[in-house]
Amino acid sequence: MYTNLQTPIDYLKGVGPNRADLLRKELGIHTYQDLINLFPNRYLDRTRYYKINDLQRNSAEVQIIGVITGFKELPQKRGKLLVATFKDETGIMDLVWFRGHKWIRDSIKLNTKYVVFGKTNWFNGVFNMPHPEMELLEDHESNLRSAMQPIYPSTEKLTNKGITNRVVNNIMQQLFLETKGKFVETLPSSLLQELKLVSKSEGLFNIHFPKNQELLAKAQFRLKFEEFFYIQLQLIMKNLIHKSKIKGFTFENVGNYFNTFFKDHLPFDLTNAQKRVIKEIRADLGSNAQMNRLLQGDVGSGKTIVALMSMLIALDNDFQACLMAPTEILSVQHYNSLIELCNQLNISIKLLTGSSTTLERREIHKSLENGELQILIGTHALLEDKVKFKNLGLAIIDEQHRFGVAQRSKLWKKNTSPPHILVMTATPIPRTLAMSVYGDLDISIIDELPPGRQAIKTVHRYDKNRLKVLAFIRDEIKKGRQVYIVYPLIQESETMDYKDLMDGYASIERDFPKPEYQISIVHGKMKAADKDYEMQRFVKGETQIMVATTVIEVGVNVPNASVMVIESAERFGLSQLHQLRGRVGRGAEQSYCILMTSHKLSNDSKVRLETMTRTNDGFEIAEVDLRLRGPGDIMGTQQSGVLNLRIADVVKDKDILQSARYYAKKILNSDPSLANPEHKPILNTYKQLSKYKNIWNYIS
């Protein structure tokens, strides 16, 4: 008989209302289930007992069996020290207490075997152990608590209120006694056998009370696999349900617009990666399910052409298309490049942003509703209620992590039926993270650059090399090239950064004097109109140097700019450095990225700079970034919810994640409704999970 794990924690012997209240508030433990899933974050290996004469002077945590032969009190500046003489068959050491003297003297039996555990110090030729954990040897041997001692997550408040690690350990033992250590199996026996996984009950017992490292490793593997398996199962299931329930428009024709553009107007040959991705998108649009696809491609990999060709398929089937970008600069750039690509196709394309005039808006609203306007490009302005399409067939969202979920769903509701969705990003997301965060989207990757693009040469230079860097910039400008010089802008220290930027600008003006050189400056404190004016001067080649903060990070396209200097590069994240570097290398000429730093660098900064100089591969850079920063930081808070994992780690356990996704897919492909009797444990667990937001809460 299984104990009901939804029992409130108050009812567990040894907890009671006060402790229950603290456990709820501090650790989110409401039920027996929550407690069982409070996994230790580390273990003290208590499989070894030391002899006093084996001790090393290294302040390690050790445990020793011996007896206390007597006490003495030593005066201190403040109060007294209580010192006990502790001996085993090899030697003598001191146990020391700074407080609680009376209680210790009253409760400890002399000349009786104890196991003491703690950190040792070497002082005046003798080892001592301050405030040791102590347990009578006979209790120690009969206890369920094992040789590998678990250390549980805790908070200052819990410790102050007396809920120590030992208390948590004791109530965990109580829970195992009440449940008899039996828990419902959540994975099918075929999977347990194939992957040699231990059972659910064994896994839980050995995560809390492992007798040795080997049993602990097996328990961790089992529970990590299970956690990933159910996340992947939910995501893949979501995708399958989406495809079966949400019917998309079937674009049967690949017609005149697409074929004419492909045959007569393609400005360059498509790469194999672009061809593959277009094929994947065509298959989606031709099926009767709504497309929900993520298109990842590094800076400059040619996502715009893929987006356009997808839109042309919508137009060939008498549907409208839209492209939404997070900033005005980026949407204007998309608009300009699409106008240029489509100028002989006789397609009506319009741009809608916050700066559009009332008259322009009126015309756009009218021609959208009567179907004359075929493609609309814009910013958040596309989401306004007044913007209504006649028949929107495809919505493309660029850099979608900048839009909230609510904003995206507004776009879906522009139609009676939801349009096909293509999400594009130039921020490479490591494959492991994409599997977890975007596991319900189909993913396409453009992983090669168009021919003729040369890899950007990246170098790291210290401030002392500045004169050489300035000479190099002068040489590039003489060749007719343009240069970006970027300063960090970090919100907390905006005034300091602004000063850095203005100081930098002043010294660049001295090094590159007018009228021989013209300089643009762009930063967040400027009005939008002034920013655009300066950007345009640089785009037209009227200025040779653009001094800026990171506002130029995404999307500005100046093929003639061949040098990117990043000041205080150690203050930038890896993905930001990579995005900034992508502003150059857009023409046929060799481009350069120069990372300027001071001599003082942290280890993480050194890894970032070394990675940037070693590789241009956005995916490799994203993997390193994930290792350094962790998943939550990379995805931003709104995306990281799915990654509040209890035991698994997306970075360290990516092999387990891949294996879990493989098996979840395999099972759902053979049995989409989980009707096979053998899959009953999965179906039951999945049903429980679907009821509750917290994925772990019901895996038991």
- What are the backbone angles phi and psi of residue 441, rounded to the nearest 5°? -100, 150
Secondary structure in 3-state letters for 370-383: CCCCCEEEECHHHH
- Which pLDDT score is estimated for 579? 84
Mean pLDDT of the 423-438 span: 76
Cis status, amide bond into 515, omega within 30 of 0: yes
- Which pLDDT score is estimated for 510? 93
- Which pLDDT score is estimated for 699? 42
Mean pLDDT computed over every residue of the chain: 86
Distance of CA 65 to the CA centre of its chain: 46
- Which pLDDT score is estimated for 561? 92
Report pLDDT digits (tens) over 202-244. Answer: 999 999 998 888 899 999 999 999 999 998 998 888 888 877 8
- Which pLDDT score is estimated for 497? 64
- Which pLDDT score is estimated for 644? 66
Is residue 287 classed exposed, middle or buried when 0-12, 13-18 and 19+ CB atoms within 10 A define those classes? Answer: middle
* 169: confidence class by pLDDT, cuts 50, 70, 90: very high
* 626: confidence class by pLDDT, cuts 50, 70, 90: confident
Instruction: Please say whether the beta carbons of 340 and 377 come within 8 A.
Output: no
- Which pLDDT score is estimated for 402? 58
Instruction: Please say whether the beta carbons of 217 and 638 come within 8 A.
Output: no
Instruction: Tell me the helices (H) and strands (E) count for the chain, helix number first.
Output: 25, 22
* 698: confidence class by pLDDT, cuts 50, 70, 90: very low
Triad 282, 286, 287: Cα angle to 5°: 120
- Which pLDDT score is estimated for 668? 94
pLDDT at residue 57 is higher than 80: no
pLDDT at residue 554 is higher than 60: no
Report pLDDT digits (tens) over 515-541. Answer: 999 999 888 778 878 888 888 899 899
Residue with tokens 């002082």: 123
Report pLDDT digits (tens) over 77-103. Answer: 778 899 999 999 999 999 999 888 888
Range with the poorest average pLDDT among 58-72, 397-411, 612-626: 397-411
Range with the poorest average pLDDT among 143-152, 560-569, 622-631: 143-152
Distance of CA 614 to the CA centre of its chain: 23
pLDDT at residue 697 is higher than 50: no
- Which pLDDT score is estimated for 493? 57
Please list, in sequence order, all residues whose beta carbon lies within 8 angstroms of the beta carbon of residue 585, skipping any fewer than 6 positions away: 300, 453, 454, 455, 456, 562, 591
Report pLDDT digits (tens) over 479-515. Answer: 999 999 998 865 445 666 667 788 888 999 999 998 9
- Which pLDDT score is estimated for 315? 96
| Structural domains of the chain, ranges and CATH numbers in brackets | 48-146 (2.40.50.140), 200-245+653-698 (no CATH), 256-446 (3.40.50.300), 457-615 (3.40.50.300)
- Which pLDDT score is estimated for 501? 80
Please list, in sequence order, all residues whose beta carbon lies within 8 angstroms of the beta carbon of residue 311, skipping any fewer than 6 positions away: 321, 323, 375, 394, 396
% of residues, the chain, pLDDT over 90: 49
* 619: confidence class by pLDDT, cuts 50, 70, 90: confident
- Which pLDDT score is estimated for 448? 81
- Name the amino acid, one letter, at 338: L
pLDDT at residue 112 is higher than 60: yes
Instruction: Please say whether the beta carbons of 296 and 445 come within 8 A.
Output: yes
Mean pLDDT of the 157-163 span: 88
- Alpha-carbon distance of 265 to 277, in angstroms, equals 19
